[in-house]
Chains A and B, each alone.
Chain A
Amino acid sequence: NAGVTQTPKFQVLKTGQSMTLQCAQDMNHNSMYWYRQDPGMGLRLIYYSASEGTTDKGEVPNGYNVSRLNKREFSLRLESAAPSQTSVYFCASSEGGGRVFYEQYFGPGTRLTVT
């Protein structure tokens, strides 16, 4: 199993450009997440999807949109990139959630720079 995969690994954008970060998991997990990691701030949740067909905002959703394409894939879109979105983006997945915690498995990350 590959676990959680993310593409691309690196990306440089100019302000105003758009792009989509791709995430896929092969563990048949129900829940998927997008986090951003900034120096000195840890990981912050952008959006999550509890199950196929549902998405919810996290702590820092502004400037992002997501799509849960199917059970395997959860994409993150930046419609008009801004320098403040320069960050490392991590996708994660877990079996389920709610009142029961299942371990989250993380992808390798996408390092995005917006100039």
Chain B
Amino acid sequence: AQSVSQHNHHVILSEAASLELGCNYSYGGTVNLFWYVQYPGQHLQLLLKYFSGDPLVKGIKGFEAEFIKSKFSFNLRKPSVQWSDTAEYFCAVKKEDTGRRALTFGSGTRLQVQP
């Protein structure tokens, strides 16, 4: 079965610190990869996505993620976090070679940025 692992459940950083959140998936076929963010009290929003091509993907608000196929990983990074980045971050995977439209989500990482 396909699964998505986010090993960091709760991360606390000070403003201006660098961020890296891990995401690993277990499916061996072609995948589409996503990071969603959920700010407190708000909807899930798409942060960035990878379909093909350049494995380094840039998203909104200065976030980027790198797809490393050999490691089945899609880690999220930001060089300098802000207090407003406090949110929960979800990695998600879609199998590209099937008709299934739905995403498989990781368990999420709660990021707390201290001023």
> A42 near B101 (CB under 8 angstroms)?
no
- For A107, give its contact among B43, B92, B106 (CB under 8 Å): B43
The answer to whether B56 has its CB under 8 Å from any CB of chain A is no
Is B4 on the interface with A (CB-CB < 8 A)? yes
Residues of chain B lying within 8 A (CB to CB) of residue A79? none
Out of B51, B101, B104, B108, which one reaches A97, CB within 8 Å?
A: B101
The reply on A94 being an interface residue by CB < 8 A is yes
Given known A-B contacts A42-B4, A94-B101, A107-B43, A99 and B96 have beta carbons under 8 A apart = yes
Which residues of A line the B interface, CB within 8 A?
A: 3-4, 31, 33, 35, 40-45, 48, 50, 58-59, 90, 92, 94, 96-99, 101, 103-109
* Count of inter-chain pairs, beta carbons less than 8 A: 60
Q: Classify the interface of chain B: helix, strand, loop or mixed.
A: loop
Residues of B contacting A104 in the complex (Cβ-Cβ under 8 angstroms): 46, 103
Q: Is the CB of B108 within 8 A of A31?
A: no
Complex CA–CA separation, A106 to B106 (angstroms): 16
Given contacts A31-B101, A48-B102, A101-B32, contact A42 B44 (CB under 8 A): no
B60 to chain A, nearest CB (A): 12
Number of interface residues of B (CB under 8 A): 25
Q: Is the CB of A44 within 8 A of B43?
A: no
- B105–A101 CB distance below 8 A: no
Q: Is the CB of A48 within 8 A of B43?
A: no
Counting from the closest, the 10 A-B pairs by CB-CB distance are: A97-B101, A42-B105, A43-B105, A106-B44, A42-B107, A45-B102, A106-B43, A98-B99, A101-B32, A42-B106
Query: What's the nearest-Cβ distance from chain A to residue B29, in Å?
Result: 13
23 contacts between A and B (CB under 8 A): A3-B43, A33-B101, A40-B9, A42-B108, A43-B92, A43-B103, A45-B104, A50-B101, A59-B104, A90-B44, A97-B99, A97-B101, A98-B101, A99-B96, A101-B49, A101-B96, A101-B101, A103-B46, A103-B49, A104-B46, A106-B45, A107-B43, A108-B42
